Amino acid sequence: MKWIQSAPSNIAIIKYMGKRDHERNIPINKSISWTLNHLRSFVELELTNGDTRWEPLNSSYPFELSEKGWEKFSRHILEIKKIFNIKENFIIRSANNFPSDCGIASSASSFAALTKVCVEAFSEISKGNKMSIHEQAMLSAKGSGSSCRSFHDGLVAWTENGIEVKKINDFNFYHQVVITSGAKKEVSSSEAHKRVNSSLLINGRIERAEKRYVDLISSLESKNWQSVFNISWAEFWDMHALFETSCPPFGYMSSQSLEILDLIKNYWKKNSFGPVTTMDAGPNVHLLWPIEYKNHAIEFKNFNTQLKFISEDLF
């Protein structure tokens, strides 16, 4: 018997960085992200009489799960098996619909897809009750915190009350990511969550993130894109400053990231509008264009032929 599920990635505008509880992935502050429906992970489960193991799923993009990745995956599967009292073994196959060597974080989409497929398969096998989407998201957060925001479309908040979709009328983003490097991360996000506690800038971090969270919602509601840009810009720099001021310091920003950020700043200066810009724990630059500026986004990509883009249109 086989089961397959897929889930999207997401990009945070207010970042989840730093945990109150590292075992259970309890964040120190609220976060909010935009769901990237076009960038997806697929996970398949098949019952086997052999040992539980991982294989790549057939896909146009080759994908290899690292040893650490498999450790995290199998720990999460065990956790869900316990809930449903499952004894069977499975072949787990997974893939992404985007190149995995381009440095776009796939942990959110892959943990969300893994949680969904395990819940579907295990509740069928155990003839147990299905879990609600909210319960699944909270379960997924135990494997990868940011994955809980991948259970809904649009703007998704992760707060002390769990997951919440922020409904803001007549509003949409067109997403592009400028790829600067496919290099593997030297410091994993789990390690980053721990190490930021050693930065002096961690003082006041919760207050800064919480203020930006409130300001972001009201700026989105009033479609004040300049203000949304300012908040998003300050927020990713705040996270990257935490990284660089940790002991020992670490970072993901490359000289090419800085060049792209400069290009975006100049674009805003020249046009008085532009993309909401953010960076994850990586060197790539994410651009969220208010949908009314989609033509400008395409123009921007066509103009900057020296840059490598992954745009929503490609999917």
Residue numbers at the binding site for ligand PMV (CB under 6 A): 12, 15-17, 31, 105, 107, 144-146, 189-190, 280-281
* Residue among 86 and 107 whose Cβ is closer to ligand PMV: 107
- Residue 100 or 144: the one with the smaller Cβ distance to ligand PMV is 144
Identify the CA nearest to 212 among candidates 191, 233, 226, 197: 233
The amino acid present at 62, given as its one-letter code, is P
Exposed/middle/buried for residue 169 (C-beta within 10 Å: 0-12, 13-18, 19+): exposed
Minimum CB separation from ligand PMV for residue 193, in Å? 6
* DSSP conformation class of 24: T
Q: Cα dihedral angle (28, 32, 34, 40), rounded to 10 degrees?
A: 30
The CB-of-146 to ligand PMV minimum distance in angstroms stands at 3
Q: Could you give the 3-state DSSP secondary structure of residue 174?
A: strand
Q: Which two tokens stand for residue 91?
A: 């072949």
Q: Please, which residue, 123 or 189, has the CB nearer to ligand PMV?
A: 189
CB 89 within 8 A of CB 49: yes
The answer to whether residues 77 and 87 touch, using CB atoms and an 8 Å cutoff, is no
- Rounded to the nearest whole angstrom, what is the least distance from the CB of residue 302 to ligand PMV in the complex? 29
SS3 assignment, position 25 = coil
Q: Which is nearer to ligand PMV, 44 or 238 (CB)?
A: 238
Min CB(187)–ligand PMV separation in Å? 11
For the record, the structure tokens of 307 come out as 């840059």
Query: Do residues 263 and 252 lie in contact, with contact meaning Cβ atoms separated by under 8 Å?
Result: no
Displacement of CA 1 from its chain's centroid (Å): 30
Residue 198 C-beta: closest distance to ligand PMV, Å:
17
- Of the pair 12, 119, the CB lying nearest ligand PMV is at 12
Choose between 94 and 300: whose C-beta lies nearer to ligand PMV: 94
- Smallest separation, CB 192 to ligand PMV (Å): 7
- Which stretches does DSSP call E strand in 72-220? 89-96, 155-159, 162-165, 173-179
Q: Which is nearer to ligand PMV, 111 or 229 (CB)?
A: 111
- In the bound state with ligand PMV, the residue whose beta carbon lies nearer, of 89 and 254, is 254
Q: Is 260 helix (H, G, I), strand (E, B) or coil?
A: helix
Q: Which residue type is seen at 252?
A: Y
Question: At 150, which amino acid appears?
Answer: S
Q: How far is the CB of 229 from ligand PMV (least distance, A)?
A: 18
Whether the Cβ atoms of residue 31 and residue 215 lie closer than 8 Å to each other: no
Question: Which CB atom, from 18 or from 290, has the smaller least distance to ligand PMV?
Answer: 18
Query: CA-CA distance, 275 to 290, in Å (whole number)?
Result: 7
Phi, psi of 21 (to 5 degrees): -140, 115
Least Å distance between CB 217 and ligand PMV? 16
> At its nearest, how many Å lie between ligand PMV and the CB of residue 31?
5
